[in-house]
A and B are shown apart, each in its own frame.
Chain A
Amino acid sequence: MPEAILTLDGVHTHIGPYHILHGVDLSVPEGGVAMLLGRNGAGKTTTLRTIMGLWKASRGAVRFRGKDITSLDTPAISRKGIAFVPEDMGIFTDLTVAENMTLAATRGAPDKRRLDWICDLFPPIRTFWESSAGTLSGGQKQMLSVARAIIEPRDLILIDEPTKGLAPAIIKSMTGALKQLKETETTIVLVEQNFAMARALGDTVAVMDDGRIIHAGDMAALAADAALQERLMGLSLEAHQ
Chain B
Amino acid sequence: MSDTAIRPRIEQAGLADRLTAALPILLVPMLALLGFAAIGDATTWLTLTVAGLAMGLMIFVMASGLTVVFGLMDVINFGHGAFVSVGAFVGFTALAWMGGWTASPSVVLNLAAVFLAICAAALVTGAMGYAFERVIVMPVYGHHLKQILVTMGGLIVTQQLIHVIWGPDAIHLARPETLRGSVIVAGAAIEKYRIMAVGIGLALFLAMRYVLRSTRIGLLVRAGVENGEMVEALGYRIKRLFLMVFIAGSALAGLGGVMWGLYQETITAHMGSEILVLVFIVVIIGGLGSVEGCFIGALLVGLLSNYTAFLAPKIALVSTIGLMVVILMWRPQGLFPVVKAK
Contacts and interface: CB of A to CB of B under 8 A. Distances in A.
- Whether A and B touch directly in their complex, counting CB atoms under 8 A apart, is answered as yes
Interface of A: 52, 54, 73-75, 78-79, 83-84, 86, 88, 90, 92-95, 99-100, 102-104, 106, 123-124, 127-128, 131, 134-137, 139-140, 148, 169-170, 172-173
Contacts, number: 84
B18 interface: no
Interface residues of B, number: 27
B237 to A, nearest CB: 5
Chief secondary structure at chain B's binding surface? helix
Given A103-B234, A131-B8, 19 more contacts: A54-B232, A73-B232, A75-B232, A75-B237, A92-B222, A92-B226, A92-B227, A93-B226, A95-B219, A102-B219, A103-B223, A103-B231, A104-B234, A106-B235, A106-B236, A131-B10, A135-B8, A170-B1, A170-B6
Contacts of B7: 127
B220 interface: yes
A139 B6 contact: yes
B30 interface: no
Contacts of A170: 1, 6
Contact of B234 (A95, A106, A139): A106
Nearest to B225: A94
B255 to A, nearest CB: 26
A74 B233 CA distance: 6
A102 B236 CA distance: 13
B314 interface: no
A51 to B, nearest CB: 11
A54 B233 contact: yes
B229 A90 contact: yes
A103 B38 CA distance: 49
Interface in B142-171: none
Contacts of A93: 226, 339
Nearest to A54: B229
Given A78-B233, A78-B234, A128 B8 contact: yes
A135 B10 contact: yes
A131 to B, nearest CB: 7
Given A94-B226, A124-B6, A52 B216 contact: no
Contacts of A102: 216, 219
Contacts of B237: 73, 75
Given A54-B233, A102-B216, A128-B8, A94 B339 contact: yes
Contacts of B5: 169
Contacts of A137: 6, 8
A123 B3 contact: yes
B233 A103 contact: no
Contacts of B232: 54, 73-75, 78
B138 interface: no
